[in-house]
Structure 1
Amino acid sequence: MASKEGNNDAQLKATLINCNLNANDANDFAEFEETLAKIDSILQGKGPCEDDSKAGGDAKEKINFDNLDVDNVRLKVKENRTVINKKSLDEDNVNQVKEMNQQSFMEQVEKDANDRAEARAKAEYEAELQRSQGNEAFRSQKYEKAILHYDKAILKVKDSAITYCNRALCYIKLQNYKRALKDCQFVLEKLQETHLRAWLYQAHAYKGLKQDDKFEKSVAKAREHNPKQVAYIDKYIKQLEAEV
């Protein structure tokens, strides 16, 4: 192989000399041509680089850049990056929404509690004004007027046992015993089972309706739920029987 390349070089030099080039110029041109040939051989995969890589046994698979779909590679990278970023963004958004929802919920709960407390305080104040006017009317024996004030007080605060009992006593004074029973029973069943005045006014209403058995049961319940008030209960019943 070396002998053949040497013959080719000698032949090339002779040709160049015959073309009126001096020996030095011919040698330079021949070396230039040889260099070009080596470069061409390397580019075509036939040069020393290919041989060395094969000899070492570590030849790497060549990439065919002519058939490489650059747009496809770019698209895949872009798609993968988009998926990763989207997942991260979704998780961040979910966490942020959860945090905002929890914070907003707690703020709303606190606001609702404050609003309810404020509304309750206002309602109790207005109910107390109506109840005071009702008490004043009761002392003046204006029972119907007193009932109107107690009605307004109950509209403001619907769970006041005192107001229901005050209204029940007005109905008793007007001998509207059935209506008095409703107020007493509401207190005992819905608000406070042990309420002393509710038991006594219920007993009073049953006495007015001449239902002695229910009268006795109401008195017994009054004593049962209020053992420390037995003296007061006996005094009230004695006064009631004297009036009847």
Structure 2
Amino acid sequence: MSSYIHSELHEDFLLRPSKVDDVLKLLHEIAKTGKDKAEVDISEGVTDTSFVVMQRQNVVKKSRSLSKRNIFSKPNMNQMTFMRQIDVSEEERKKARAERVSVANNFRRLGNAEYRKSNFDKAIDYYTKGLNYINDSPVLFVNRSLCNIKKHEYKRALLDLDHVLNHLDGCCLQAWLYKAGTLKRMNNEAGYEECVDNARRFNSPSLKYIENFLNKMRSEF
């Protein structure tokens, strides 16, 4: 977005005098002036029968929030963090992404191993850990949904499948087929037929695989 719209994006403020320093200097002078004044005894004239205070004492309170340390310590830390983010190159970001993908794939393999042993809860845990490293992987969402299908947690499965189809890959063949099978188990025939139609429409080169999957689903899904 244009810096013309967001004037705070201009960096010419770095060349201007610091108004914060001016404010701190002014407050310091005010506090110093208050200390130089003679203290007034506000209890003068107060007796057991006359205890109305007729004079107001002027007190300059020192605000802890205005101390130089409190004002500058945290913003400096945020500025350093911000500058480090700016200094990261595109190549470094790609490298960091590749490292996260590698970790996520390791968790996917561990999840697959648990799935083959029918340890669906452990598999779900591994897939979820993988998603903590890379949250745009259709494979991890689809694999986790299949575990929930095996556990008859159909609504949980649909959450993952809909996320894939609505936000990551609207043509994902496995997502459409698993969603079709899930809706079939939920006796939603209209939804089942719609998913099968979409699977065929978006993946026409895989029609034979789709038919084999549907035949297998009727007995094993």
TM-score scaled by structure 1? 0.54
Who is 2:191 aligned against? 214
Structure having the higher helix fraction is: 1
SS at match of 1:210: coil
Say whether residues 1:229 and 2:206 are aligned partners: yes
SS at match of 1:237: helix
Following superposition, the deviation at residue 110 of structure 1 comes to 6.6
Q: Which of the two has higher C-alpha Rg?
A: 1
Q: Which one-letter code corresponds to 2:176 in the other structure?
A: W
- The one of 98, 123, 134 equivalent to 2:100 is 123
Q: Which one-letter code corresponds to 2:188 in the other structure?
A: Q
Stretches of 4+ moved more than 4 A in 1? none
Q: Which one-letter code corresponds to 1:215 in the other structure?
A: Y
Who is 1:20 aligned against? none
Q: Which one-letter code corresponds to 2:186 in the other structure?
A: L
Say whether residues 1:195 and 2:169 are aligned partners: no
For structure 2, the residue ranges without an aligned partner over 5 or more in a row are 1-11, 16-84
SS at match of 2:88: helix
Say whether residues 1:239 and 2:206 are aligned partners: no
For 1:137 and 1:165, how far apart are their aligned partners in 2? 15
Q: CA RMSD in A?
A: 2.0
Who is 1:51 aligned against? none
Say whether residues 1:176 and 2:176 are aligned partners: no
Following superposition, the deviation at residue 114 of structure 1 comes to 3.1
For 1:123 and 1:240, how far apart are their aligned partners in 2? 34
Following superposition, the deviation at residue 111 of structure 1 comes to 2.8
Counting only pairs closer than 5 Å after superposition, residues 134-145 of structure 1 correspond to structure 2 as 134-145=111-122
SS at match of 1:159: coil
C-alpha distance after superposition, 1:128-173 (max 9, x if no partner): 1111100100111111100000000001000001111111111111
Say whether residues 1:161 and 2:119 are aligned partners: no
Q: Which one-letter code corresponds to 2:114 in the other structure?
A: A
Q: Which one-letter code corresponds to 2:192 in the other structure?
A: F
Following superposition, the deviation at residue 194 of structure 1 comes to 0.6
Q: Which one-letter code corresponds to 1:179 in the other structure?
A: R
SS at match of 1:167: helix
